[in-house]
Structure 1
Amino acid sequence: MEKSKVYFTTMKTSFSENLPQKLERLIKTAGIGNIDFTDKYAAIKMHFGEPGNLAFLRPNYAAVVVKVIKELGGKPFLTDCNTLYVGGRKNALDHIDAAYQNGFSPFSTGCHVIIADGLKGTDEELVPVEGGEYVKEAKIGRAIMDADVFITLSHFKGHEATGFGGALKNIGMGCGSRAGKMEMHNAGKPYVEQENCIGCGRCIKICAHDAPSITNGKASIDHKKCVGCGRCIGVCPKDAVCTPGDESNDILNRKIAEYSKAVVSGRPHFHISLVVDVSPNCDCHSENDIPIVPDVGMFASFDPVALDVACADAVNKQPVIDGSQLDRMPHVHHDHFIDSAPDTNWHSCIEHGVKIGLGSDQYELIEI
């Protein structure tokens, strides 16, 4: 099998080229111009950062990608889907507020923000997963599937459940609607924390399967009727409806790979990952710990699997930063991500991605 090409550049600059200019040169050299963007809608999938987190990618990088796509005749927009957990991005209004607070406005990036799965995380498209073992139809935010071209701009960092968050995490988990995220994260179904419930009945109104009911002023969910769509989570005004979070990390990773395949199949796609501020946990946290390794650089490829492997290999060659989470953990696995979060195994996502034809784990690294 031919190795996938992954392009790379360091974060070193010169008097004649700054980091935004270097990113532009990287993605052009990697071949983004080979995609026909003329009058095409181009979704740029990224993470806007949970309010309070400062490790997310700066909007300056998004502005570069937007500029290049516009020069190629495309119509770009920045996008993400709402979160399953309770936080600052669980509905489209809060999500856009968070994006603007963190600098992702049309004035700073050159394009609009569209929350792909709508106001309450229910605007989704069912997308077949060819060769899927865990998922037959992925539930993807509709605006992402409406796009003609799909681009990712990922912050490559650690993750407490998947080992690291890179291109595949950004695609698979990030593009899932609330029901999609529910499917990936959970083997079980939502339940109600009775002490927080006010008996408003909104969960009853949103459910198409008559699963919720109210007794003595408190809601409960009949799991024999519940299909696990997660819509009740989005409408609860008191965040009383919770998820069990009971899926194994390996199956979670494999589901992410299958969701990723659903998103990219059948249309042009291109992927960019920045290995900077490599925090130990996801940007979904409302805080960020110090990086576990020094900044590495910027990577780009048409193959998201190869891209993730190249980034992981580069991180594993770096020294550990003193005082970081990784520095405080026993180094027994010879892998920075597994040592930082010992209950994770990022290889399960890569291996499954290769198995289902999403991409290759063999790459040629081309430094520019």
Structure 2
Amino acid sequence: MAASNVYYTNMRTTLTENLLQKLERLVKKAGMMDIDFNNKYTAIKIHFGEPGNLAYLRPNYSKVLVDLIKEQKGRVFLTDCNTLYVGRRKNALDHLDAAYENGYNPFATGCHVIIADGLKGTDETLVPIEGEYVKEAKIGRAIMDADIVISLTHFKGHEATGFGGALKNLGMGCGSRAGKMEMHNAGKPFVHREACIGCGACRRVCAHSAITVADRKASISPAQCVGCGRCIGVCPVDAVTSMYDEANDILNRKIAEYTLAVLKDRPSFHVSLVVDVSPNCDCHAENDAPIVPDVGMFASFDPVALDMACADAVNRQPVLDGSFLAEQAQHSHDHFINAHPDTNWESCIDHAVKLGLGNKEYNLITI
């Protein structure tokens, strides 16, 4: 397979070109405008950032893509799916509040925000794929209803997958609550009995009669539970939680398979910004100091080559003094492994190549 083209520009500016103008020039050079957007529904998949975290991408970057797509008469929206964990993005109402709080509103971005898997994370499309682990991916419906998918990713470290790049933004980020359950867990959700108030909300929402309430405490039968995660979404005191017990390598491979489900049979394009490279995901309600200097902006039609180029670029950077990474033992040339030794980001890349999602080899074209 011929090497894929990945386009890159640094974060330097001039008196005649700011960063937003550089991003526009980058994506045009990389070929995004070759896509036929005319009257097509276009989903820009982005992470809005958990409130309290300040490393997420500024909404100004998304407006560059929105304006370009609207110039081509595209019908564009920003989107993400609800989270599996407890936080400010667990349901669509809170998720929208969080997005607006972080600047992702129609006035700042020029388009609407749609939470793709609905109010409680259960609005999903079942997408059949021939994966090693996944046979029917559960993807947020609004994302699957779109004609075109654009990913706009904050490239950063991640405590379970090594780093969060385009593949994770698409695979994990586009999964409904049941999809996230499938990727994160080998088991089923369970109830923290000390937190449970016995209200029965989880029992009422369970379509498989897997939940019983006795002595004002709920319990879940693993034999009857199908892992849909609805009980997690409705619990008013967050007493129901997932196991998060899947091995990291298998988690990464499942993410690749979910990415395949999201991207197959329709046009896509991918942009990653390697800035504010925090050691952990933007799902945290805080962000630590960057582990390396800002690198730049990358764009490609190939999400695998894009992730490889971003990872290589980060690994060429010096470790910043005083960062989380500087405090870790430096056993490897790989910053992500040094930050989180139990992770192996290449397991996602290699599986994505095996699935035909893209190419590890790339030509880096600097503009």
TM-score between the two structures when normalised by the length of structure 1: 0.99
The 3-state SS of whatever aligns with 1:307 is helix
Partner SS for 1:107: helix
CA shift at 1:108, angstroms? 0.4
Q: Which amino acid aligns with 2:293?
A: P
Q: Aligned pair 1:98/2:98, yes or no? A: yes
How many residues are aligned here? 367
Aligned to 2:290: 291
| Match runs of 1:84-163 below 5 Å | 84-129=84-129, 131-163=130-162
Alignment match, 2:317: 318
Counterparts of 1:346-361 in structure 2, within 5 Å, are 346-361=345-360
Once the two structures are TM-superposed, the CA of residue 195 in structure 1 deviates from its matched residue by 1.1
Distance 2:183 2:2 in 1: 31
Equivalent-residue separation in structure 2 for 1:81 and 1:108 (angstroms): 20
The one-letter amino acid of 2:312's match is: D
Q: CA deviation at 1:334?
A: 1.0
SS at 1:175 equivalent: coil
Counterpart of 2:34?
A: 34
Residue 46 in structure 1 maps to residue 35 in structure 2: no
Structure 2 SS opposite 1:208: coil
CA deviations over 1:166-196 (Å, ceiling 9, x no partner) = 1001000000000000000000000001111
Distance in 2, Cα, partners of 1:233 & 1:104: 26
Aligned to 1:55: 55
Deviation at 1:58, TM superposition (A): 0.1
Provide the rounded CA distance (Å) in 1 between the counterparts of 2:119 and 2:207. 18
Q: Distance in 1 between matches of 2:205 and 2:92?
A: 17
- Whole-Å separation in 1 of the counterparts to 2:217 and 2:53: 35
Per the alignment, residue 166 of structure 2 pairs with 167
Q: Which aligned pairs between 1:210-221 and structure 2 lie closer than 5 A?
A: 210-221=209-220
Letter in 1 for 2:32: I
**2:273 alignment partner in structure 1:** 274
Q: Distance in 2 between matches of 1:204 and 1:98?
A: 28
Q: Secondary structure at the match of 1:309?
A: helix
> In the alignment, what sits opposite 1:81?
81
Runs of 4 or more consecutive aligned structure 1 residues displaced over 3 Å after TM superposition: none
Secondary structure of the corresponding residue to residue 172 of structure 2? helix
Where does residue 209 of structure 1 map in the other structure?
A: 208
Aligned partner letter, 1:87: G
Give the AA of the match of 2:25.
R
1:336 and 1:197 map into 2 onto residues whose CA distance is 41
Q: State the AA in 2 paired with 1:17.
A: E
Residue 185 of structure 2 is matched in structure 1 by 186
Instruction: Please list every run of 5 or more consecutive structure 2 residues that lacks an aligned counterpart in the other structure.
Output: none
Alpha-carbon offset, residue 160 of structure 1: 0.3
Q: Provide the residue aligned with 2:237 in structure 1.
A: 238
CA distance in structure 2 between the partners assigned to 1:133 and 1:353 by the alignment = 11
Name the SS of the counterpart of 2:150 in structure 1. strand
RMSD, aligned α-carbons: 0.5
After superposition, residues 321-332 of structure 1 pair within 5 angstroms as 321-332=320-331
Matched letter for residue 35 of structure 2: I
Query: Which residue of structure 2 lines up, in the alignment, with residue 308 of structure 1?
Result: 307
User: Aligned AA for 1:62?
Assistant: S
For 2:365, what is the secondary structure of its paired residue?
strand
Q: Distance in 2 between matches of 1:240 and 1:330?
A: 36
The amino acid that maps onto 1:257 is: A
What SS does the aligned partner of 2:252 have? helix
Answering whether residue 245 of structure 2 is matched by residue 249 of structure 1, we say: no
